[in-house]
Amino acid sequence: MSKGPSLTEILDMLVATGHLHGGQKQDVLNRGREQARHLLLDRRAELRRLLGRQRVNYTLSDIELIASFRFRKDEKSPVVDEETITEVVATHEGYTFVRVDPLKLNFKLVVDAFGGPFAEKHMVIAVEDKPEALTVALCDPWNTDLLGSLAQFKKKAIRPVMACKSEILKVIAEFHGFRRSMRAAEATFATDMPDIANLESLYKVQGTNELEATDQPIVQAVWYLLNYAFDNRASDIHIEPKRDDALVRMRIDGVLHAVHRMPRGVHPAVVSRVKLLARLDIAERRRPQDGRFKTSFGNTEVEMRVSTVPTVFGEKAVLRIFDPAVLKQPLADLGFFETELQQYNTMIGATNGMVLITGPTGSGKTTTLYSTLNHIANPRINICTLEDPIEMVNEQFNQMAMQPKIGFTFGSALKNVLRQDPDVIMIGEIRDGDTAENAIQAALTGHLVLSTVHTNDAASAVSRLLDLGVFPFLVAGTLLGVIAQRLVRKVCPFCAREEQLTPEQIDMLNIRGAEGRRLRVKRGVGCARCRGTGYKGRTGVFEVMPMTARIQRLVQEKASSQEIKREAVNDGMLTLREYAIKKLARGETTIDEVIAVTDETHLY
């Protein structure tokens, strides 16, 4: 059995490549033993959580130890992490380094190639299977005895590649843990019995054997799905019944990714477990239901909103994940440029008037509203919110959920809220004339009103209020400004590369004054941290339109939205397309995102 490089040799590699200096190397050698003792305790505790059991066997690698010191070459350099060290060692030793992306792995290959205990013991996962060789990712590719045994067992050549131990361990825990849960669930389910929830069934089955939502395998399966979603920064989890099985998909950075497939018979129990957590009626499967529950991930409490609907193949569930770190961002982190941020701060700093946020579903309006309320909240003011439904519970606000069935709507609730001595009122959405009229009255009587409308741009929000029956002079007198917004995906900082826009692309974007110039932008080439997409995270694109005296005059004259937009642009407003192009020039997003998310037509 070959042996890998020693701690000192790995440190020498990092010094030679400029990732560490001599003093940092000596620091590891001096403090390594004490650091390792504490780190091992932490890793074993984390492993117990991942594997869901009390007893675990775990040995600490030299790479993990060095990474725990979190050294930097200098103040501006990134931290020397486990991935960086592993890549340096792999390159030096002649191995291919891979970043393990769970969303790109073949679930069946991973769980069928090696059993869970074997994979955990040897820290090995299969990443690609071809007729000529099986590619396996290890953190210890020098283990020739293991590689020889694998070749003999699989009866084909084994191609070892090197990957981070933490990434391998997470895949083993999540994939094999989920598989164990599914197999245990199947063992107690009569798979040959049809599902009465499937509308394609031609007859009703009496006494169908069905799993309970509280069975331990189902509880574990849902736990794995939630943790998988949190780890991958998913905003939604879709559990979708199909004809022969069930599909689990997750929306990450606005795009849906297929993650797992479940046996058809296990799907109802998984959905029932989710409904149980959300306090929904698990016996009712014929009508849509909505609920919510709170769970924790690490030290963070996360709100989950659940929606279920009956479909042709059974009941579909969608879980919306509300991460407080996302919904309570500082305003500067939402994507505002300095000028637009100052304008927005001026609007929300007023003691009375109305500010509107506009954009389609999924454009980040809720995040902007919650971040705004969090920004202005303090013990001296009373903030009341009217929501349908309440997205995330926050004890700083007095939140009210609309209940149209009993007549508690936005319009009627506003009349009652005004008797609650509010300073700031947030209305989830202005949908009708009654709500619009009461919102205007609240703004006129000394309250700051924040709300949303569904329009394509900022200027169209004014037309929307007029269409709902609000008098032009009231709109002009109360509206402080309108923010239109979209979300674009950000270029992954870990795999970003510079490129130049072609003349055709410059012409497509209609960038003024750019003819004949070389415009450098960035594009992600794809890596494991961004799941090969080239994007990581999203940022806002805004159209900020303050109500200037000239725009107020146009509103009173019932001018069209095109005329209002033209005046706002003359006053210095950036359109959504122009704002996105500025982000493109700064290397924050790509031309594909700019074209896909912003309207190419200019209405001025």
Segment 473-523, tens digit of pLDDT: 999 999 999 999 999 999 988 888 888 888 778 777 877 665 656 778 898
As given in the structure block, the two tokens for residue 404 are: 């149209």
**Sign, CA torsion 565/569/573/579:** positive
Tally of CA atoms within 13 A in the half-sphere of 485 that contains its CB: 26
Region 35-58: mean pLDDT is 74
CA–CA distance, 440 with 421 (Å, rounded to integer): 17
Answer with the residue of higher pLDDT: 107 or 603. 107
pLDDT at residue 157, rounded to an integer: 92
Which among 327, 184, 203, 213 is positioned nearest to 271, based on CA atoms? 213
**In degrees, to the nearest 5, what angle opens at C-alpha 542 toward C-alphas 539 and 543?**
170
- Please count the other Cβ atoms lying within 10 Å of the Cβ belonging to residue 378: 9
Give residue 51's pLDDT band: very low, low, confident or very high (50, 70, 90): low
Residue 49 has pLDDT above 50, yes or no: yes
CA–chain centroid gap for 278, Å, is 21
**Distance between CA atoms of 166 and 281, rounded to whole angstroms?**
39
Which tokens go with 68?
Answer: 């725990």
Question: Average pLDDT, stretch 265-287?
Answer: 88
- pLDDT at 543 exceeding the cut of 50: yes
Structure tokens at 169: 């361990």
Q: Which CATH superfamily is domain 326-487+540-573 in?
A: P-loop containing nucleotide triphosphate hydrolases (3.40.50.300)
Residues 586-597 have pLDDT tens digits of 999 999 899 888
pLDDT on residue 155: 87
Q: Which residue has the tokens 């109360």?
A: 478
Separation of alpha carbons 91 and 13, rounded Å: 10
Residue 201: the pLDDT is: 37
Mean pLDDT for 383-397 is: 85
The amino acid at residue 519 is L
Residue with more model confidence, 301 or 428 = 428
Of the listed ranges 162-171, 196-205, 219-228, 533-542, the least confidently predicted one is 196-205
98 contacts 135 by C-beta, under 8 angstroms = no
Which SS3 state, helix, strand or coil, does residue 564 take?
Answer: helix
What is the reported pLDDT for 205?
33
Confidence of residue 556 (pLDDT cuts 50, 70, 90): very high
Rounded alpha-carbon distances, angstroms, from residue 530 to 109, 233, 524, 538, 604: 22, 11, 9, 12, 38
Give the sheet arrangement for strand 289-297, strand by strand. 255-263, 245-252, 234-241, 314-322, 300-311, 289-297
* Model pLDDT, residue 603: 41
CA 251 to chain CA centroid, Å, is: 7
Distances (CA, A) of 491 to 66, 68, 285, 524: 29, 27, 42, 6
* Cβ atoms of 317 and 308 closer than 8 Å: yes
Report pLDDT for 202: 36
Whether the per-residue pLDDT at 264 is higher than 50: the answer is yes
- The 10s digit of each residue's pLDDT in 161-203 is 999 888 888 888 777 777 666 666 666 554 433 443 444 433 3
Cα dist from 363 to 46, 305, 323, 433, 574, whole Å: 36, 18, 16, 24, 18
Q: Considering Cα of 595, then 598, then 599, then 603, what sign does the dihedral take? A: negative
**Res 208: pLDDT:** 37
Closest CA to 356 of 278, 425, 450: 450
What pTM did the predictor assign? 0.67
Say yes or no to pLDDT of 44 above 70. yes
CATH H-level, domain 7-167: superfamily: Type II secretion system, protein E, N-terminal domain (3.30.300.160)
For residue 293, pLDDT over 90 is answered with: no
User: Which ranges in 311-409 belong to alpha helices (H)?
Assistant: 324-327, 338-348, 365-376
Q: What value does the mean pLDDT take over residues 542-567?
A: 93
State mean pLDDT over 416-440: 90
C-alpha–C-alpha distance, residues 119 and 136, integer Å: 11
Contact between 455 and 479 (Cβ < 8 Å): no
Domain 188-321, second-level architecture: 2-Layer Sandwich (3.30)
pLDDT, residue 206, reads: 33
Mean pLDDT confidence for 336-352: 94
CA-wise closest residue to 82 among 93, 71, 92, 94: 71
The larger pLDDT score, comparing residue 573 to residue 228, is at 573
Q: In Å, how far are 421, 434, 445, 552 from 555, measured between CA atoms?
A: 30, 20, 21, 5
pLDDT at 542: 95
| Sign of torsion over alpha carbons 327, 332, 338, 342 | positive
Sheet holding 353-358, edge to edge: 398-401, 383-387, 424-427, 448-453, 353-358, 479-491, 535-546
Question: Among 69-78, 225-234, 265-274, 309-318, which range has the highest average pLDDT?
Answer: 309-318
368 CB-near residues (< 8 Å, 6+ apart): 334, 357, 483, 485, 540
Residue bearing tokens 């055709």: 504
Distance CA 263, CA 244 (A): 8
Percent of the chain whose predicted confidence (pLDDT) is above 90: 36
The domain spans of the chain are 7-167, 188-321, 326-487+540-573
For 489, the 3-state DSSP assignment is strand
Distance, CA of 369 to CA of 426 (rounded, Å): 8
Q: What is the predicted pLDDT for the residue at 514? A: 59
